[in-house]
Amino acid sequence: MPTSRTLSVAEELYLVLHYDPVTGELLRNGKVNGSEAQVLSAAKLVDLIEGGRVAVERTRTMREAIVATEQVSDDAALDEARALLWRQSKDRSITWGLSNLGSSTLLVAGLVALGLVVEERKPLAPLTPLGAEVLRERREQLDAAWLGEPADERAQLVAVVLFAGKVWRNVYLVRDRSEKDSTVARLTVLTERAARVGERGKVIGRLLADAVTP
């Protein structure tokens, strides 16, 4: 991927939720609704867990609390989320995280800094040529994961979070009932498998249970 760093799961999710992979234009007005905010929160938590910046631990007051470490990130959006957790005066649950970590402001700023989005305030600008290239590359992998074909682990994780958060229809408009049923069946298996693996699995499982239906 021709960028200065690998995109986070949250950044990939923002791109696929908001931009057309063919034209590079905004799919909507750039605003994040409640369901998308939960999904972005889950993605940030997964990124932070995998980077060793937060952990899901049993504490004195909670069976599963998200605990921030002192280690900072090189990604402003993720560090904002970690810092918010760090400042809490009491233990916070995964459900709390899903409701409070979904801000997209610094996500967009990060995409601008990477040269993927044009820096405009209103309306939000389309992708740059580089951004469109990156999105098409990632969508190819995501499409493969969607169809049950070989795909990289990142694309599978993005597919799982989209499905668990019940926003996959924002990206894939499946009109044929048999196709929809087979897609749901595939993603259900993939999601249930992911929800059983480690700390990030706990986040995916909680997202699956708590997700708001759009």
The predicted-structure confidence for 24-79, as pLDDT tens digits, reads as follows: 888 876 677 888 999 999 999 999 998 888 989 888 888 888 988 877 777 889 99
138, 166 Cβ separation under 8 angstroms? no
Q: Is 160 helix (H, G, I), strand (E, B) or coil?
A: helix
**pLDDT value at residue 75:** 85
Residue 53's H or E segment, with its range, is: none
Q: Look-up: residue for tokens 């200065």?
A: 4
**pLDDT value at residue 1:** 47
- Confidence check: pLDDT of 149 > 70: yes
> Which domains can be identified in the chain, with CATH numbers?
9-210 (1.10.3630.10)
**Confidence band, pLDDT 50/70/90 cuts, at residue 160:** very high
- Token pair for 18: 């908001």
- Confidence check: pLDDT of 122 > 60: no
Kindly provide the residue ranges of all beta strands, DSSP E only, lying in the chain, ordered along the sequence: 54-57, 65-68, 92-93
Residue 8's H or E segment, with its range, is: none
- Token pair for 34: 């409640």
What integer is the mean pLDDT of 73-96? 89
Give the largest CA-CA distance in the chain: 51
